[in-house]
Amino acid sequence: MTTFKFEYIWLDGYTPEPNLRSKTKLISFDNFDGSVSLLPDWSFDGSSTKQAEGHSSDCVLKPVRVYPDPHRRNGFLVICEVMLPNGKPHPSNTRSKIKRKDEDFWFGFEQEYVFMFDGKPLGFPEDGFPAPQGPYYCAVGSGKVEGRDIVEEHMDACIDAGIGITGVNAEVMLGQWEYQIFGKGPKKAADDLIAARYLMERICEEYGVEIELHPKPVKGDWNGSGMHVNFSNEEMREQGGKKLFESICKKFAAKHKEHIAVYGAYNEERLTGLHETQSIEKFSFGVSDRGASIRIPVHTAENWKGYLEDRRPSSNADPYLVAARVIRTVKGK
């Protein structure tokens, strides 16, 4: 028998932004092949995570996806849904809003974030600000990028865990980076993003650096942080047509407020109409337009097959809520 370490990971009940939580369960197996069905449910104290009252505090973690843990011997990361003791989804269980029949949707999340140290973005001087934006995006060289060692370690950890990471790059503000996560199926894509967020937080513990997901971490003439979401379904990928894509964009226009409601807290500070955003009060779409709410990629418009990019979600958005809302709108609901 071998003792395996399973890190059960879930989103808590804090608002307006849930936090990542985790705890380790040790289970002995002759062999563990990664099957989530072999893992038991596990209770936790919901009164400590704003998911229950103290007089009836038990909540239940239901394992839903397993990844190899790149940092532990015989370790695995376990993404969990939070359930009530009666077996029904907890009100904070946003993953349960995505239905099994929606697996033909593919999602790509562009997760922007900022490394913070002593209350400032990594690389910012102790007093004042660095040189204005311009040289930092996709940059190379000392003074133009900060935190690359963490980015490289995180990228390798995601690859080792089997997470669908497809790229990384330095972003427009010094100390700001992005990684991209892609998954065939909304739950797979969102689970991968949650696992990637968890690994980044854990790696940063070793560096004494914090991860900031606020959509406007530095006020003034500095880019905010988003979580652009690229999405498609089989009809968009295989049948396509300009009429189809324009009709989808018009559906999104009609549901703009519903999308903004679940696209992350404090997003009004980022969606101002400046810094490659459309105003939170407006909706627009256009080919290759990074100032629009929905960007139609130029290669999609070439033959009108492919995907769309919703540029409105903020960096702190819940990927399950974002995916569920996108799917509903595409379906005309």
* Cis upstream peptide for 16 (omega within 30°): yes
Tens digit of each residue's pLDDT (9 = 90 or more) over 142-198: 999 999 999 999 999 999 999 999 999 999 999 999 999 999 999 999 999 999 999
* Strand, helix or coil for residue 143: coil
Mean pLDDT of the 261-280 span: 97
Confidence of residue 101 (pLDDT cuts 50, 70, 90): confident
The predicted model scores a pTM of 0.97
Give the pairing type, strands 294-296 and 285-287.
parallel
Give the pairing type, strands 106-117 and 227-232.
antiparallel
Contacts of 326 (CB under 8 A, 6+ apart): 105, 107, 229, 231, 259, 310
* Cis upstream peptide for 89 (omega within 30°): no
- Percent residues over pLDDT 70 in the chain: 100
Tens digit of each residue's pLDDT (9 = 90 or more) over 24-63: 999 999 999 999 999 999 999 999 999 999 888 999 999 9
Q: What pLDDT is stored for residue 162 in this prediction? A: 98
Confidence of residue 100 (pLDDT cuts 50, 70, 90): confident
Set out the domains of the chain in order of their start, with CATH numbers.
2-92 (3.10.20.70), 100-330 (3.30.590.10)
Q: What pLDDT is stored for residue 29 in this prediction? A: 96
- Angstrom distance (rounded) from CA 258 to CA 333: 11
